[in-house]
Amino acid sequence: MERLKNPRDFSLVYSQGRPRFGKYVVVSSLPTDLEVSRVGFAVSKKVGNAVTRNKLKRRLRAIMQEVESDLKPGYDLVIGAKRSCVEAEFAQLRTDLFRVLQGSGLLNRTMGGEEHS
């Protein structure tokens, strides 16, 4: 899993990708011809101050590192945090992100009841 950093790539995912909405996150995905999946994180200033936004991005990155081995290759993803994300516990955020990724068909296997701790 690589990071998505170029603003042009973010714009492409937003304009041509398919969004999936969870309670705390929005995952936009766009199939690519690459052999790896690239993930970018978007947390608006409406969510909170810099400390809050960075904390949310760290949490989302940690969750994605956990699921990295099960992520299907060949996608560009942008994971956006909703305002409700601020009040969420880490476990709630993790469950919501897993649910959205599964619903998008981006995971090779289900993460259902077996929680990695």
pLDDT surpasses 80 at 78: yes
* Mean pLDDT (whole number) for 38-46: 95
How many separate domains does the chain show? 1
CATH number at residue 28: 3.30.230.10
The number of beta carbons lying within 10 Å of the beta carbon of residue 32 is 16
**Which range has the worst mean pLDDT, 7-16, 90-99, 101-110?**
101-110
Q: How far is it, in rounded angstroms, from Cα 117 to Cα 91?
A: 10
Q: How far is it, in rounded angstroms, from Cα 98 to Cα 113?
A: 11
Which domain does 46 fall in, by range? 2-103
- Opening angle at CA 76, ends 21 and 61, nearest 5: 70
DSSP at 105: T
Residue 13 domain-assigned (yes or no): yes
Does the model's pTM come out above 0.75? yes
